[in-house]
Chain A
């Protein structure tokens, strides 16, 4: 049963009493207004945002904020800077929404913006990384479990600092490849480089990490 026939059937009693019922198909614009933006896909959300519907962009932020934040955090290694960079990435996305042609996924487009924001803002030298989590709750350091947890946290902090110390393009390549499973081609598109350059950056990132981590067991 089509939507139109269902509506006609629903109004059948009224017709029987002599009313005249006209079923009018809503225009696409009216339909979009009536829809809850939560149910829209990314392309429709972008279109709605371009039309000035801020609630649509709110949904885009909600869907992608974790990924954007994680990219930023991997870049700078601390929460405060990652938070600022995430905000700036979304503001740039908002301002550039009209240029999004839908030729790539919205997520890929956001990766590109986020990485560019990070590359522009982050200096080549290592950014301050978050200190280790408070170890107050590791009171009983004599237990093997607590000690191994503490060691694992220390090692993780060391790795984050080492990543933050990598040259920027190597850092971007390593982050996108290792943590976000992007292909070398996707990374090349995002960074505006070739697949060969991306592979070389990935190799040198790992080689540099090995040196940095090798001296800090």
Chain B
């Protein structure tokens, strides 16, 4: 009868050798010797532990993983992070606040209407005011807005929403829905 194959020796190590081959093993000196050698190496290998790192290391590893994930350029993930209500609500509130401030800024006294003043001139004045506000706010980042006092008080967004007209609320709803639908697609 042939000696045990490598597969059968592994089965013998696992204690799963077929009965017929077990009979050969019991009677075969070379196979028994080979199995004993493998068993010895396996036992010595099993006895070697991984040195335990410092207890602080595990927290350190978690922190490293967290930072590495934060550094990952996951474009889709970043969009999904922005499209959450806890993020969208303050942004929407800030936008509404800017709109409210813009509308509430007292306008300089308008000179008595000139007979020659046309509707076109009035539109140009509004456009100019909007351009000034847009220029001022265009590069405004969050930190600058915070330091300038443009912070969102609790309930400010809700208050701003309540002050919208029905048609403005409908338009805001439409814009938010369109944005969410676009983000999902």
Binding site for B on A (CB under 8 A): 52, 54, 57-58, 61-62, 65-66, 69-70, 73-74, 79, 83, 86-88, 90-91, 94-95, 130, 133, 155-156, 159-160, 163, 174, 178-179, 184, 196, 199-200, 202-204, 206-207, 209-210, 213
Contacts and interface: CB of A to CB of B under 8 A. Distances in A.
Contacts, number: 93
B72 A91 contact: yes
A66 B61 CA distance: 10
A87 B64 contact: yes
Contacts of A160: 48
Given A58-B62, A87-B65, A178 B77 contact: no
Contacts of A213: 41, 44
Contacts of A70: 50
19 contacts: A54-B66, A62-B62, A70-B50, A73-B51, A79-B51, A79-B53, A83-B64, A87-B61, A87-B68, A94-B69, A155-B44, A156-B47, A159-B48, A199-B10, A203-B7, A206-B38, A207-B38, A209-B41, A213-B41
A62 B57 CA distance: 12
Interface of B: 6-7, 9-11, 37-38, 40-42, 44-51, 53, 57-58, 61-62, 64-66, 68-69, 72, 74, 77, 80-81, 84
For B38, B51, B53, B68, the residue with the greatest tally of chain A CB atoms inside 10 Å of its CB is B51
A38 to B, nearest CB: 14
Which 9 A-B pairs rank lowest in CB-CB distance, beginning with the nearest?
A203-B6, A90-B65, A199-B10, A156-B48, A159-B48, A210-B41, A73-B50, A199-B7, A70-B50
A159 B44 contact: yes
Nearest to B14: A184
A156 B81 CA distance: 48
Contacts of B10: 184, 199, 202-203
A40 B45 CA distance: 36
A52 B7 contact: no
